[in-house]
Structure 1
Amino acid sequence: MNSESISSSLPKKDRDIVAADTDALSSESLSGTTSVWKLLLVAAVPVVTVLTCGARAPWALATLALLVGTCILLMPPIGRIPLKVWVLPALALLLSLTFALPVVGELPDWRQALQRDFQIDTGNLHSPQPWTSSEKWILVTLVLVWMAFVISRGFADGERRIILRAMVVGLTAIAALAVWIKLRNVAGPSFWARDNLEPFQYGPFPNRNHFSGMCAVTGILAFVCTYDSFRRRHFGWVLFAICLAICFAALMLNTSRFGVVMFFAGCGGWMLTATLRSQSAHKMALFSSLFLIGTTFLLIFGQRIIQRFIGEGDVVATLASDGRLSLFGRVLKLIPEAPWMGWGIGNFDPIFNMLDGAPNTIYRASHPENDLLWFAAESGVPAALCMVLGIIVLAIQFGPWRPRNEKHNRRDRRLRNAAAISALAIVAQSLVDIPLHMLGLAVLFATLAGLGYNPHSLLPQPSSRRWLHVPAALFCFAAAILWISVARLTPLMPTDTYARQLYRGSTQMMIENRNAEALELINGAAIIRPLHWEIYFQRASIKLALGYSPQEALPDFARSRALEKYLTRFVAAEAQIWAIHHPPFAMAAYGEAIRRDRSSSQNYFYSAMEIARLHPELRSDARAMALKDPKLHLIFTLLSDGEEFSRELQALLTEHPELAIYNKAERLSLFQAWHAKADRSKLVRALQDKPAWLADGWSVLATDHALQGDFQSACKIAFDHLDPPFATSPPGNLSVDELNRLYLGNPTDIARGLQLYETLKLHDRIDEALQVLEELALLPSVPNKVIYEKALILNQKKEYAKSWETLQTYMNKISAS
C-alpha cells in the first residue's frame, strides 16, 4: 500500500498533518539539512548567555563570542539579507562608532571643569571613556552579527522547531534553578548579577523585571511548543506543559507586573495570528482555558502581583509613582546636550548623574528605564532613529501580515509567529525597561528575531559572496581572545570589564590588608573609567590606610563628590573614614552630607557632635555647622553644658523668641534642658506667662513645683493637661459582693478588676477601690487606665506626693508608647 492510499484512509485532520509534514520537509531544502547537534549549538547560544552573562564576567563574554563564531563557521549562510533589512542597523552601528572621533572645537563645559578643577583626564575624543565605549560597541556588534547569522541561515520549519524546543528546555531549567535558589534561600552562582535594593529579586539578572521578561518569553514559547507537539501527536507536549507551569510559577514568585502582561499578551497574540487564516475556534478555546487557569493560579498564589496591579492606579499612575515618567523627562532634557553623536556608548551612568538637575540622595539612576532613550543619549538621535526604523523593517518580515501568495505551510508560520511575537514582546518591554541592554536578553531577542524572520524573503547568495561569513567569525574569535586575555588579567586592550575586575580585585586586596597592591589596581581602573566616583573614593581610602597624608587623599574624595553630586551615603562614609585618620576633615564631610540630605541632617549632626566630644578643639566647627540650621542649633544647645548652654540658649531665644520653628517634642526637650542646666525661675515665669509654651512644657512646670514640695500644684497642673485614658464599661447590675467573688476567682482579669473598682468608687468605698487598683498595678502589662485611676484616687485622698509619683509613672508610660 503506497503512501497516498495510506493518507487517503486517514481522517481529514490527520491527512492535513501528514501533508503539512511533507511540505515542511520539502521546505527544508531552503537551507539544506542541518545536523541536530548543530541546531542544539544554536539554541545553546541564548541559553548559555542568559545563564552566565548576567554579571558580564570576561570568561562568560569569551564563551558567547566563541559560540557565535563557531556557529557561523559550521553553518554558513544560505541566503542574503535584503539591503532594506540590514542597512539601517548597520548605519546605527556605524553612527555609534563616532565615539572614537576627536572633539571638534572646545570640550563641553563639564569636561573642562573636571580637567581644570579636579585633574580628571577625559581626553579629547568624543567619548570621555573611549575604552569603555570600545568594549560596549564590540558587544553591540556581536549581538547584531548573531542576529544576521540566524536570519541568513534561513532555518526551515523542522530546524526551527528543534531550536525553539531546546531553548524552552534550557531557559526553563534556568528558571527552575532560580526558583529553587529563591525558595531555599541559598546563594546563586557567583556569575549571576545581584542588586541588594531588590527585595524579591532572583535569577541571573540584576533586576526582577529582566528575569520576569525572560520567564514570560519562555512561557510563550513553551505554550506554543505544547500546542504544536499536541497537534503533532508527539508525547513531548507533556514536557513543554511542565515547562509552561514552571515559567508561570517563576513569574508569580517574581512579582513583576509587566512579565505577567507579556505572557498573557504574547500567548493571546500568537493565538490571534494562528486563527487569522484558519478560522479555528478550538485555538481560541485553548487560549481561553489557559487564561482562566492562569488567572486562577494568579488569584490563589499571586497576591503580591495582584496587590501591585490594583494598589497603584492605572499605567500612567504606576509609571509616575516609580519615577519612570520623571526620569524619561529628565533624560529627554539632557539629550539635546549632544543630540547628534550622544555622550559615547557606555557613558550614560556617570554623565547623566553628573548633569541631571533633579537630586536624589538615596538612589542613583544608572539607566533611563528605556532602551531607546539610553541608546539615543549615548549614540545620538540619528543612530537611535536608524535602530528604531531597522526594528520596524525587521518586524514587517515577521508573521501573518506577509504577502498571501506564500507557499509555505501553516505550521511554518505557527513557529515563526511564536518567535516573532516573543521578540516583539521584548521590544515592548524595552519601552519601560532595558532588556536590550541586558546581554542575555539581547541575544535572546536576536535569536528570536532571526527565527521569526521569513526565510522566503532572503535573496540568493552569489558564490562570490559566500566567504563573507568568515570575517564575521574571525571578528567573534578576536573578541573571544580579547576577553580571555581580560580574564587572565593580561588584556590585549583595556576594557570596561577589565576595569571592573581591577576594582573588585582592589576591594579584595583591601580586605586582606594588601593595600599597596590594592592601590596599584585601583590606579589602573581610574585610567580606564575616569568618570566613576567609586574608584576615587576607594583610592582615597587606600591612601589613608597606607599612611598617605590627608592632603594627598583629599583630592580623590573631592573627585568622587564632583562626579556624584547627590548621593549622601558615601559622603557619610567618607566622614567616618576621616574620623579615624584626620577628624578635622570629618566635620567638613558631615557638613557636605547635611547639605545634600536635609531629611537626615540631624542624624549626621549627632555623628559630628560625637567627634566634637572626642576632640573638643573641633567644637567650634560643629557650632558653625549648627548655626546654618535652627534644628541643628537646638541639638548643639541641648548637648552643651554650663556657660556654653546659657550662651547658646540666649542666642537661640534671640533668633527665635517664640520658638515657633520647633515642634512640640523639640520645645519640651529644650524646656527640660533649660530647667536642668540654666535659670529655672526664668523658665517658670516664661511658662506661666506664655500659654503656647505651657501647652508643651507643663510637665516641666509641674516637676518644678514637685521639687519645691508643692505636690498639690504639681498634680493639678498634670491633671489639667493630661488626657485621661479610655473609659471603662459601666459597672452593670452585679453587686459588690458578686463582683468581688468573681474577681477573687480570677485576680489576673484586669477587665473584671476595673469593673469592681468602678463599682466600689460608685459606692464611695474609696479605700477598697484603691486596694483593687494597687493589686492590678502589680500585674504585668498593666494598662495605663489603672495607673491613671490610682493617681486620681490618691489625689482625691489628698495624698499628693504619692499621687505625683504615680503620675510620673503614667507620664513615662505614655511618652514611651
Structure 2
Amino acid sequence: MGLVVALMSLCYVLRPPSRSINRVLLGFLFAVPLLALLAFLPLSKTSVPFWRTALETEHGIALGGLVTPQPWITFEGWVALVLGIIWLIYCLGQNFKRQEIRVAIQFFALVIAILAVIAIGLFWFKREIPLWRGEWAQFAYFGPFPNRNHFGGLVAIGAVLGFAATFDAFQRKNPVMGCLYALGVVPMFVAMLLNTSRMGVLLFFAGLGLWMALANSKKYTRAWIAVALSILLILASGFIIFGSRILDRFHIGDGSIANIISSEGRIGIYLDTLRMINLSPWAGVGLGNFDPVFSMTRESIDTESRAIHPESDWLWLASEAGVPCILSSLVAAIILTFAYGPWGSRRIASSRGRRLGVTVGVAALIYPAQSLVDTPLHGIGPATFTALLIGLAGNRRLPDVEPTAKKTSALWPGLGIAICALGASLLVASLTGSAITPQEKFDQLANDAAFLKRSGDRAAALQTWNKAASIKPLQWNLYFERASLKLELGYSSQEALADFSRARYLEQTFGRMCMREAELWFLYDPPYGIPALREAILRDSTRAYGFYHWGITQMTTHPEVRQAMRSLATTPGLQFLYLSASTGTEFDSALKEFLVKHPTLEGLKPADRLRLFQLWYERGDPAEVLQRLEDNAEWRRDGWPVVAEHRAKQGDFEGAYTLAHVHLPKPSLRPLSGDQPTETLRRLFLLNPQDPLAGLELYWAQKAAGDFKGAQATLREVSVLKQVPPGVFWELAEVLAETGDYLHAWSALQEYARKLAPPP
C-alpha cells in the first residue's frame, strides 16, 4: 500500500487537476468520510447494542465510550477511505485529451493481457509468485488476487479495452496494432475459462455486450448488429465448448441465480448484514469492525467458513459507516454515472472521441457493478483502477466546468508532498519489517507471541497477547491463545475459562474452535472440557458424531467425566455411541433409557441398528433381544444377522441359512453365453485358471448339462480365486443347500454378506 500511496502523491505533484468538479458531486464525496467520523462520537447509553453489553458486563472486555469498539482500527480504515476519495477527486479533475485516453486504453489492454498470460503460465506449470495466491491442489484461485472473482472482473475490463483498442486501430488504418490488440483478448478469454469465476463470466459477456451496444456513434446498421452478435456467439460457443468447469459451477439445483447465490450462503449473509445495520443504522459499528461484530449478531450459521465481509461493498460500508454514509455514496455514484458518464448527448464529442469515452465508461462500470454482490472496491488495486477509469470517462463539456483556480493548483502539490511522506513511511516500514499502522502492529505482536510460544517463553508470549488486545479487543483468537497459555503456565482454570468464553462469544461460528478448547481442557482439567465439547456439538451438527466419539475415547483415562459425557448424548446417534462404550449395569441402564426415548429406533442408520442389536445380544439380555426381533418385523429387517448367528451357534444351520437367504439381496449372476460345448469351456478354464468368469461359464454349462457334482466342484474352485464376484458365494450356498450341507451353505452366505458390506 505504501508504494501505491507514494505513486498517487507523485501524480498530485507532477500533474495537478486542470479543471474543477461539480460542487454538488464534490459535496457528496466529502460527506462520505465526514459521516464515517460519526463512529468516533460518544456512545449513547440508550442505544447500546446487545453484543457490546455482553462483552463489557459478562466478559469483562473494556471497549471505551466511543461508537467504534476499536478506535485505532477504525482510524486506519478512515485514513484509507480519505485517500481513496482524494484519488477519485483527483482523477475527476483531470482533463484528459483524446490521445491520452487512447493510450490509456491500449496500455491497460496490453497489461491485462500480459497478466492473463502470466496467470495461465503459472496455472499450467503449477508455479506460484509470492505476491500471488495460488492453491493449485483445489484450483480455487487464479491470478494476482486472493479472490478469483476480482481477477474475473479485471479480465472483463481488459476484454472491453482490448476490443475497443482493436476497433480503434483498424479505424485508424493500423492493422498491425489492431491484430496485436485482438491477440491480447485471446489470453483474457482463456484466463476467464481457467479462472472458473461465474461472476467473471457474467461480467465478461455483459461488459462486451454493453460496449457493443453503446460504442457505435451512428445509427445502428444491420452490418454492425450482425458483426456484434457474431463476435458474441463465437465467444459463447468457445465458452460452451471449453468452459465445462465453469458450466459445472452453474449447475446447482435448478441453475437459477437465486439458487446459486443461496447455495453459497450469500442470501443468509445479506439478511444478517441488514439486521446488523438495523442495530446501528446512523453511525454503523466503525470502519474495520464488520468481521467481529457480524459473528456476534448473525443468525444463519455456516460451520465451514467465516464471513469476514458481507459479500457486497455497499452493505459493507453501510454496516461500518452507517446508512447516511451509504446514501451519500449512492447519490455520488448516480451523479457520476449520469452527469459525468460519456453516454449523454452524441453532440458532445466526435464519433471516435465518444467511442473512446464509452469504452472507459463501460470498463469503469464493471467493478462497481460487481461490488453489489462482491467486494472488489475494498481492494486497493481495483479501487484505484476504477477511480482512474472514471476520470478517463468523465464528460469534459459539462456546463459548469471552469478553469481551475491558482489556489487549487497550489493545493494539490502541497497535498501530494504530505501524502508522499505518508506513502514513503509505509513503504520503508514494509521493507524494513517495522509496523506503523494499527493492523500491522497487531500482526507483528501476534507473530511475536507465536514465536515466543514456540521458543518456550510462554510468559512473554502472554504479555505480548495482552498488548495486542489493546489494539484489537474484538479479535477472538487472541483470547483463545491467551487462555491456552494460561493453562500451560498453571493459571487457575477459572482464569483460562474467562478467556475461552470471550473467544467463544466473539467467534460464534466454528465448532472446531470449541473442539480444540475441549482437547486442551482434557489435558489439564477434564471436567471443564465438557461445556466446550457440548458447544462444539451444538455448533457443528455435521461433525457432532466425530466430536462425541473423541470424547468417548477419553472416558477410559478420565472416568470422572463419564456421567457428563452421557448427558451430552442428546440425539439417537450420540446415545448409540455412548451405548457402544458402556458395559454391565451401565449398559442396561443406558439401553433402557434409549428404548424409552426412541421405541422405534428412529434416527439410527441401518448399520447402527444392527450394531445396537449385536451389543444388546453381547452385553445385555440375549433372550430379550431375540424375542423382540422375532416379534418386530421392522427391527428384524436390520437385525436378522443377530438371529441367524444365534441359530448357527445353537446348531440350527438350516434356520440360519434360511433367514439369511430371505433377507440378503439376490445377485444378478447369469451366464454370458450358452452356445459353447462344455469341453471347450473346460479347456478355456484350464488355460485361464485365475479367470473367475471362465470358471463361471463352465459352471453354468455343467449345471445345464445335469452334471451337478462337476458344477459344484467348479464353483468351489472359482470361490477361492482372487477378485471373485460376490454372487459366486450366493450360488455356492444354494448349491450346498440343495445337497443338505447347510453348515457350509451358511458359511458361504456369510462370505457373500461380507463381500457386499461397504469398506469401513
Instruction: Return the TM-score normalized by structure 1.
Output: 0.87
Amino acid at match of 1:629: T
Q: Which residue of structure 2 lines up, in the alignment, with residue 57 of structure 1?
A: none
Work out whether residues 14 and 413 of structure 2, in 8 Å CA contact, stay in contact via their aligned partners in 1. no
Q: Where in structure 1 are there 5+ consecutive unaligned residues?
A: 1-60
Match of 1:299 in 2: 240
1:204, CA displacement in angstroms? 2.5
Rounded to whole Å, the distance in 2 between the matches of 1:283 and 1:475 is: 51
Match of 1:429 among 363, 370, 376: 370
Q: Distance in 1 between matches of 2:199 and 2:591?
A: 57
Identity percentage over the alignment? 35
> How far did 1:161 drift?
2.5
Is the counterpart of residue 602 in structure 1 residue 542 in structure 2? no
Equivalent in 595, 611, 615 of residue 669 of structure 1:
611
Task: State yes or no: 1:265 paired with 2:190.
Answer: no
Query: 1:144, CA displacement in angstroms?
Result: 1.6
Measure the CA separation in 1 of the matches of 2:595 and 2:347: 90
Q: Which residue of 431, 441, 446 maps to 1:503?
A: 446
**Does structure 1 residue 225 correspond to structure 2 residue 174?**
no
| Structure 1 residues 404 and 300: CA distance shift in structure 2, 3 A | closer
Alpha-carbon RMSD across the aligned residues, in angstroms, is: 2.6
In structure 2, do the counterparts of structure 1 residues 813 and 552 end up closer, same or farther at CA, with 3 Å as the change threshold? same
Q: Does 1:690 align with 2:599?
A: no
* 2:142 match: 202
1:128 corresponds to: 69
Give runs of aligned pairs for residues 766-785 of structure 1, distance below 5 A.
766-785=708-727
Quote the Cα distance in structure 1 between the aligned partners of 2:632 and 2:56: 59
Preserved contact between residue 544 and residue 553 of structure 1 (Cα < 8 Å) = yes
Aligned to 1:371: 313
Q: CA deviation at 1:390?
A: 0.5
375-384 or 498-507, which moves further after superposition? 498-507
1:80/1:152 contact within 8 Å kept:
yes
Contact 1:645 1:678 in 2 (8 A): yes
User: Residue 522 of structure 2 corresponds to which residue in structure 1?
Assistant: 579
1:272 is matched by which residue type in structure 2? Answer: A
Q: CA shift at 1:746, angstroms?
A: 3.8
Matching residue within 313, 321, 325 for 1:383: 325
Distance 1:400 1:484, change over 3 A: closer
Contact 1:194 1:205 in 2 (8 A): no
Q: Which of 315, 320, 345 is residue 287 of structure 2 equivalent to? A: 345
CA 1:536–1:742: 2 relative to 1, 3 Å: same
Match in the other structure for 1:84:
24
Is structure 2 residue 746 aligned with structure 1 residue 804? yes
Separation in 2, partners of 1:197, 1:322: 21
The 2-side partners of 1:509 and 1:202 are apart by 35
Equivalent AA in structure 2 for residue 268 of structure 1: G
Counterpart CA distance in 2 for 1:205 and 1:195 is 12
Question: Relative to 1, partners in 2 of residues 1:172 and 1:136: Cα closer, same or farther, differing over 3 Å?
Answer: farther
Q: Give the deviation of 1:68 after TM superposition.
A: 0.6
Residue 303 of structure 2 is aligned to residue 361 of structure 1 = yes
CA drift of 1:641 comes to: 2.4
Query: Which letter maps to 2:657?
Result: C
Query: What is the match of residue 9 of structure 2?
Result: 69
- Matched residue, 1:593: 536
Q: For residue 622 of structure 1, what is the aligned residue in structure 2?
A: 565
How many residues align? The count is 753
**The residue matched to 1:122 in structure 2 has which SS?**
coil
1:469 aligned partner:
412
Alpha-carbon deviations, 1:714-756, whole Å to 9, x = none?
2122112222211414873544344434444444443443333
Deviation (angstroms), 1:290 = 3.1
Q: 2:133–2:141: 8 Å Cα contact kept in structure 1?
A: no
Partners of 1:814 and 1:558 lie apart in 2 by 48
Q: Structure 2 vs 1, CA of residues 421 and 513 (structure 1 numbering), >3 Å: closer, same or farther?
A: farther
CA shift digits 1:380-416 (9 cap, x unpaired): 112111111111111124455334543x433222222
Q: Give yes or no for contact 1:133–1:345 (8 Å, CA) kept in 2.
A: yes
1:101 matched residue in structure 2: 41
Change (3 A) 1:555 1:277: same
1:362·1:569 contact (CA, 8 Å) conserved in 2? no
Query: 2:142, 2:151 within 8 Å by CA — same for their partners in 1?
Result: yes
Equivalent residues in 2 for 1:484-495 (5 A)? Answer: 484=427, 487=430, 491=435, 495=438
Give the Å deviation of 1:199. Answer: 4.2
Residue number in structure 2 paired with 1:18: none
Call closer, same or farther: CA 1:400–1:75 in 2, change over 3 Å: closer
Give me the whole-angstrom Cα distance separating, in 2, the residues matched to 1:816 and 1:318.
33
Partner of 1:440: 381
Taking the aligned partners of 1:315 and 1:714, their CA distance within structure 2 comes to 56
Q: Structure 2 unaligned runs (5+)?
A: none
Amino acid aligned to 1:296: S
Shift of 1:175: 2.9
Structure 2 length normalisation: TM-score?
Answer: 0.93
Q: Kindly provide the amino acid, as one letter, of the partner of residue 87 in structure 1.
A: G
SS of equivalent residue, structure 1 residue 768: helix
Residue 3 (structure 1) aligns with: none
Compute the displacement of 1:116 (Å): 0.8
CA contact under 8 A between 2:165 and 2:178: conserved in structure 1? Answer: yes
- Distance across 1 between alignment mates of 2:687 and 2:539: 63
1:260–1:76: structure 2 CA closer, same or farther, 3 Å change rule? same
Q: Is the 8 A contact 1:82 1:459 kept in 2?
A: no
Paired position in structure 2 for 1:21: none
Q: Which moved more, 1:351-360 or 1:781-790?
A: 351-360
Corresponding residue number in structure 1 for 2:188: 247
Structure 1 CA distance for aligned equivalents of residues 5 and 278 of structure 2: 35
Task: Find the counterpart in structure 1 of residue 107 from structure 2.
Answer: 166
Tell me, yes or no, if the aligned pair for 2:126 and 2:136 is still in contact at 8 Å: no
Distance 2:138 2:374 in 1: 15
* 2:703 partner SS: helix
How far does residue 80 in structure 1 lie from its aligned partner after superposition?
0.9
Describe the superposition over 1:43-78 as per-residue Cα deviations: whole angstroms up to 9, x where unpaired: xxxxxxxxxxxxxxxxxx111111111110111111
Question: CA offsets, 1:310-334, max 9 Å, x none?
Answer: 5552333333333333332332233
